[in-house]
């Protein structure tokens, strides 16, 4: 009996547990249905959002951007200039939005953009960061004064060589140092010459013979004696023996053992080639003397500036080691050849040098008064030489810079004449233009047609499509 009771109690407990479990199951099912409804509603709302966004018109390639009123050519990533897209969105390459390329920018550069360049657009804040400055293309005077460097040199027309026209030996040096100043007719050295002594003796004998036959009844004999005296005297003159020395020999009746040579000009000894006791030959150079009261300045002028220089143009010379001193002269000669090393032409300036402040070999600053003319010009810093052409960047609209090829003419100190490619009133970049040049060249990569300069043509259909906004 007790066993049946125990079995009944166990059965009731099992049924009770089953009922509790079933009630819990039903409650869980009901909660799951509620949560599922909320999830579905959220998902539907999420799907509806893109539909509502899609109802707003998207600006695609070929459409007019309502915010700017310009027609969009394509969309691109400024950091990856090659690929082009036909609709806006997030860049597949960088964490940034694609930027539009407008038709107006392309038309502004069409037909004028040099090969390998493209129009560059720089926002105002970026422009300030990289230091872009501009200047107007204006008509102004180009040329005029040319600033250059020069070297002082002796006037070749005032340089004299001192030599003897007979052989002999140096007895004494009166001027024995290079660089020593001398005066005209100042004694330089004395020379003993056996040939000179013999000729002097012949002259004395000819004089004695002429005196003896002067009273002769034969006029022919007297004439021959006088002719012999004159011939001997002329031989001494041809050896540069002064008439005063010849007269002295005639008055004294004595042969002079040595002869003193004097300086032909006042100046400075540039070169000394003699020593006491040295044997010399006829024509051997003994001294080189230069008159430095007038000097030359050999200035270097670039070939591009030669059209502004002509003979007789005024010139001013100054030197850093002579503050406050200015020397005025004129262009005397333009040398007919170009230095291959410096690509410059020598211009000779003649300067008075009465105080001998300018000395051969000194470096000086030269200002040449050149011929200028009125012309359309730009600052020199606006030009970018590429080797084959000269490029400037023109600001077509605020922040839009287009490359332009120009032809240049006369070049001044600060400005360069523009023969073609620009008009007065346009605005060109004068600083940071090399950064803009780099951006322009990068922007041109991929814009060339197929097979051009080794770059493949870019196709909108072959480009990656931008990802969904995240």
List pLDDT tens digits, range 62-95.
677 777 777 787 877 777 766 888 888 888 887 7
The secondary structure of residue 156, as a DSSP letter, is G
**Residue 35 pLDDT:** 46
Question: Are 268 and 225 a contacting pair, CB within 8 Å?
Answer: no
Question: Are 267 and 295 a contacting pair, CB within 8 Å?
Answer: no
Please give the Cα distance from 44 to 251 (Å, whole number).
142
CATH 3.30.450.70 is the classification of domain 118-138+374-448? no
Please give the Cα distance from 445 to 82 (Å, whole number).
6
**Residue 460 pLDDT:** 29
Q: List, as one string, the DSSP characters of 419-431.
A: EES--TT-EEEEE
Residues 6+ apart with CB under 8 A from 422: 137, 376, 378, 392, 394, 404, 406, 428
Backbone angles phi, psi at 300, to 5 degrees: -100, 125
Please give the Cα distance from 230 to 227 (Å, whole number).
5
Residues 6+ apart with CB under 8 A from 308: 143, 144, 146, 368, 370, 371, 372, 410
CATH 2.40.30.170 is the classification of domain 145-155+291-372? yes
- How confident is the model over 264-299, as pLDDT tens digits? 999 999 999 999 999 999 999 999 999 999 999 999
Question: Are 277 and 170 a contacting pair, CB within 8 Å?
Answer: yes
Show the tokens assigned to 245: 């020395």
Is the pLDDT at 56 greater than 50? The verdict is no
Q: Is 253 left (phi over 0), alpha (psi -120 to 50) or beta?
A: left
**Reported pTM:** 0.56
Which residue's structure tokens are 């940071």? 432
CB atoms within 10 A of CB 83: 21
- How confident is the model over 122-165, as pLDDT tens digits? 888 888 888 899 999 999 888 778 889 999 999 999 999 999 98
Show the tokens assigned to 319: 């030197």
Q: Where are the domains of the chain?
A: 1-56, 118-138+374-448, 145-155+291-372, 162-287
């Amino acid at each position: 009996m007790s066993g049946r009771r125990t079995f009944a109690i166990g059965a009731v407990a099992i049924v009770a547990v089953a009922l509790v479990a079933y009630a819990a199951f039903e409650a869980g099912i009901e909660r799951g249905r509620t949560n599922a409804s909320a999830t579905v509603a959220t998902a539907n709302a999420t799907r509806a959002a893109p539909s509502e966004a899609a109802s707003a018109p998207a600006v695609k390639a070929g459409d007019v951007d309502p915010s700017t009123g310009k027609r969009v050519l394509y969309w691109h990533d400024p950091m990856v200039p090659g690929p082009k897209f036909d609709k806006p969105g997030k860049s597949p390459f960088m964490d940034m939005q694609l930027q539009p390329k407008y038709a107006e920018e392309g038309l502004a550069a069409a037909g004028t953009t040099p090969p390998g360049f493209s129009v560059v657009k720089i926002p105002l804040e970026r422009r300030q960061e990289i230091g872009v400055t501009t200047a107007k293309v204006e008509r102004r005077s180009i040329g005029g004064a040319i600033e250059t460097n020069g070297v002082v040199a002796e006037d070749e027309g005032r340089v004299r060589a001192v030599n003897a026209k007979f052989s002999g030996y140096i007895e004494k040096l009166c001027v024995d140092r290079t660089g020593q100043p001398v005066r005209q007719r100042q004694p330089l050295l004395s020379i003993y010459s056996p040939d000179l002594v013999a000729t002097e003796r012949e002259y004395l004998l000819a004089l004695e013979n002429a005196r003896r036959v002067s009273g002769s009844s034969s006029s022919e004999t007297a004439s021959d004696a006088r002719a012999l005296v004159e011939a001997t005297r002329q031989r001494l003159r041809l050896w540069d023996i002064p008439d005063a020395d010849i007269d002295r020999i005639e008055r004294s009746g004595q042969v002079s053992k040595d002869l003193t040579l004097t300086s032909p000009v006042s100046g400075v000894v540039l070169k000394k080639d003699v020593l006491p006791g040295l044997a010399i030959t006829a024509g051997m150079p003994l001294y080189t003397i230069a008159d430095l009261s007038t000097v030359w300045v050999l200035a270097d002028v670039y070939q591009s500036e030669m059209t502004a220089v002509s003979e007789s143009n005024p010139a001013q010379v100054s030197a850093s080691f002579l503050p406050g001193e200015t020397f005025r002269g004129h262009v005397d000669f333009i040398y007919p050849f170009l230095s291959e090393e410096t690509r410059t032409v020598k211009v000779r300036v003649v300067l008075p040098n009465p105080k001998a402040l300018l000395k051969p070999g000194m470096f000086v600053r030269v200002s040449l008064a050149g011929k200028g003319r009125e012309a359309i010009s730009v600052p020199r810093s606006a030009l970018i030489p590429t080797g084959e052409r000269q490029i400037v960047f023109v600001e077509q609209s605020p922040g839009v810079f287009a490359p332009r090829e120009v032809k240049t003419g006369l070049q001044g100190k600060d400005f360069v004449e523009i023969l073609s490619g620009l008009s007065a009133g346009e605005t060109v970049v004068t600083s940071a233009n090399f950064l803009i040049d780099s951006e322009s060249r990068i922007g041109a990569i991929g814009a060339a047609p197929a097979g051009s300069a080794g770059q493949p043509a870019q196709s909108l259909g072959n480009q990656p499509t931008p990802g969904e906004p995240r």
